Amino acid sequence: MELSYQVRGMNCDHCVQAVTKTVSALPTVGSVRVDLPTGTISVTSAAAVPLDDLRAAVDDAGFELIGAAT
């Protein structure tokens, strides 16, 4: 399954690396794709990732998970 989320504060390659690293460390996450121009991340996982876990991982990277991307 792949879901996309809006993240506030990402603006450089370091941001991409930080978010990718922390979100990829979550159980069941297979891949993370960051789109800087839109401020979104796409998370591919074998099972649903709890939103609280995803929010905590994004916070650990220094950014704010706004919610599901539309």
Q: Could you give the C-alpha distances from 4 to 19, 38, 41, 66, 70, in angstroms and in order?
A: 13, 11, 6, 11, 8
Alpha helices in the chain (DSSP H): 13-24, 51-60
Phi and psi torsions of 31, nearest 5°: -155, 160
The whole-number pLDDT of residue 60 equals 97
Q: Is the pTM of this model over 0.85?
A: yes
The CATH number that applies at residue 35 is: 3.30.70.100
Amino acid type, 11: N
For residue range 7-66, what is the model confidence (pLDDT) as tens digits? 999 999 999 999 999 999 999 999 999 999 999 999 999 999 999 999 999 999 999 999
CA dihedral of 56, 7, 48, 23, whole degrees rounded to 10? -60
Number of structural domains in the chain: 1
Structural domain of residue 33, as residue ranges? 2-68
